[in-house]
Structure 1
Amino acid sequence: MTGSPPRRISVLIPAHNEADYITGCLTALYASAISGHGIEVLVLANGCTDDTVARARSVSVPDGWEMRVLERAEGGKLAALTEGDKAANGDILVYLDADVQVEPELLSQIAHALCPERALYASGSPCVTPARNAFTRAYASAWVRLPFVRKGAPGFGIFAMTRAGRERWGQWPAIISDDTYARLHFSPEERIRLPGRYHWPMVEGFRNLVRVRRRQDRGVAEIKTLFPQLLQNDDPRPSGMRAMARIALNNPIGAAVYVAVSLAVKTRLFSSNVVWARGR
């Protein structure tokens, strides 16, 4: 690993009204223990009506790093990603949500793991940020033990790929689950889970958990309908009931809360026509 040649890394951060999060996201990113690589950060501000842009520009940028803010008047994460891909100069592309904080080792591990000449994908090991709400804490205590979270490289919150991998599709389609879409363009053998951790927040409270879970389920269903050929790259998963039964043996309260949210998702409880801007 010490003999790896320098690589150009582009970190793309789509941001729509992320003033409460962008400072923490960038501060953690800039603390990355990495050297010998050219690193640019692109904050993809789309449709912001708060001071996301000003706060992003106010964070001190380390020596050897570059930071640009690309402002779009229109909102829309996927259009912002397409624009960011065109502007990025990196051999390695890292897609980071504005409310996620990486630990110092992760970016360096990504740089060493992804050989630019190959189509490869990588992500870190997720940790759920402790919630204020007791219901969300109980839900998260079961959720983090699901096979999807514990194994493979799920990629929610942050994922990275080589340019050769990104060339497998053109513009980002207007879909809900961009992370699933990207991940399934790579076979399980091309996906790498790294030990470096990142901190990923959940929404607070039963109502919001139901709404977000329902949106996530719609996103997965959308992929199955529009891009069924990608499903061959999904990881094999055990029965959800079997996995939850195992979790319930050690965490009955967390399992009960998780099941309650899952059942509510299947009903019209808390359904509305309001567009849910945050993915979680």
Structure 2
Amino acid sequence: MISVIIPAYNEEGFIGETLQLMLQSDVPAPKVAGAQPDIPSGAPPVEVIVVANGCRDATVAEAQELTGAFLERGWALKVLALPTGSKTLALNAGSAAARYPKQIFVDADIHVSPGLFAALDRALDRPEPCYASGRPRIRRAQSWLSHRYAQFWQRLPFMATGVPGCGLYAVNAAGRARWTQIPEVTADDIFVRSHFSPEERTAVPDTYSWPIAEGLVRLVRVRRRQNQGLTELSIACPGLHVAGERTAPDGLRKLELLVSDPVGFAVYAGVALLVRTPVFANRRRWERGRGDD
């Protein structure tokens, strides 16, 4: 049994498809009778909580339209509406409202594969702390530049062989007990992941996908926001240790990537260099790389 928490800020046109794909998920395996005495008999195996925060569009209505479909599936769908636009506030509120100790946190534009939730449920089914995620995939970009950037990014060791949890991560009860509230930072995924050693992280083979920012300007702004999130995290949580984490490849791997994909290497490196300049200055703290930003 799992609770799925989806923070949603102005996700009209995205949240409906995200929820519909979740409805196609495999059902987590039923637990042995009496194994979870605090959960009543007949409780839904999957609970999805959409936490709309500060939305000025039809996000809430679009999500609520699928309430009947969730009931037909035997699952639960809750839609909470918060007045303040804050992803971390939404994550914390959704986690507090969840009925199950296994919790999956999912961005509102993520598409899950059918087997992912069941696989994560199995991976989290242990007493010791566990952090889990699927294999991330980036959906085909419309622009040539974004497509080449995404292809190269997915080949970096951190993405290809690690457990990055970009846009989707899950924890069990012992893992969730390691923090009380996610602080007001844009790097919520890094905050959570940093509470687990590499040995405590599990990657399941099932995939999930998300859209990448389209075009050079949006790529630079989103990448800069990601870097700023690390700075925010170091200030908000100076004692937090990013456990055994290397996101940049070593020299030999960089050379291999350069030789195998010189164009992708140039695109990726070019964006990284522009991030360090005032060019294409970010217009707001939370850049999503969309046309509505």
- TM-score normalized by structure 2? 0.88
Asked if 1:22 corresponds to 2:22, the answer is no
Cα 1:116–1:39 shift into 2, 3 Å = farther
**In structure 1, distance between residues paired with 2:269 and 2:289:** 20
For the Cα contact (< 8 Å) 1:124–1:195, is it kept in 2?
A: yes
C-alpha distance in 1, partners of 2:50/2:287? 18
**1:123, 1:153 within 8 Å by CA — same for their partners in 2?**
yes
2:171 to 146, 161, 167: 161
- Matched position secondary structure for 1:40: strand
C-alpha distance after superposition, 1:25-45 (max 9, x if no partner) = 111111111244511000000
Q: Unpaired runs of 5+ in structure 1?
A: 1-7
> Which residue of 110, 113, 124 corresponds with 1:103?
113
- SS at structure 2 position matched to 1:271: coil
**Using the alignment, how far apart are the partners of 1:269 and 1:205 within structure 2?**
14
How far has the Cα of 1:81 moved from its partner? 1.1
Match of 1:31 among 17, 24, 27: 24
Equivalent position of 2:192 in the other structure: 182
The structural deviation recorded for 1:100 is 0.4
Task: Go from structure 1 to structure 2 and tell me whether the alpha carbon gap of 1:20 and 1:245 turns closer, same or farther (over 3 Å shift).
Answer: farther
Q: Secondary structure at the match of 2:158?
A: helix
CA contact (8 A) 2:158 2:248 kept: no
2:52 counterpart of 1:45: yes
The one of 154, 171, 180 equivalent to 1:144 is: 154
Match of 2:5 among 12, 17, 27: 12
Q: Return the TM-score normalized by structure 1.
A: 0.92
SS in 1 for 2:93: helix
* C-alpha distance in structure 2 between counterparts of 1:279 and 1:186, whole Å: 29
Residues 87-130 of structure 1: per-residue CA shift (max 9 Å, x gap): 10112000000000000011110011112522111000011000
Unaligned stretches of 5+ residues in structure 2: 31-44
Contact 1:122 1:194 in 2 (8 A): yes
Quote the offset at 1:228 in angstroms. Answer: 4.3
Q: Hey, what does 1:70 align to over in structure 2?
A: 80
- Retained in 2: the 8 A contact 1:103–1:197? yes
- After superposition, the C-alpha distances for 1:182-212 in whole angstroms (9 at most, x for unaligned) are 0010111111011000012111000000011
The residue identity in structure 2 corresponding to 1:152 is G
Identity of matched residues, %: 40
One of 252, 256, 273 as aligned partner of 1:246: 256
| Greater alpha carbon shift after TM alignment, 212-221 vs 120-129 | 212-221
**Residues in 2 aligned to 1:279 and 1:138: alpha-carbon distance in whole angstroms:** 16
Count of paired positions: 273
Letter matched to residue 58 of structure 2 = D
Paired with 2:182 and 2:222, the residues of 1 have a C-alpha distance of: 22
4+ runs deviating over 6 angstroms? none
Query: 1:134-182: CA deviations, max 9, x gaps?
Result: 1100111111101110122100110000122111111110011000000
RMSD: 1.7
The CA deviation at 1:237 is 5.0
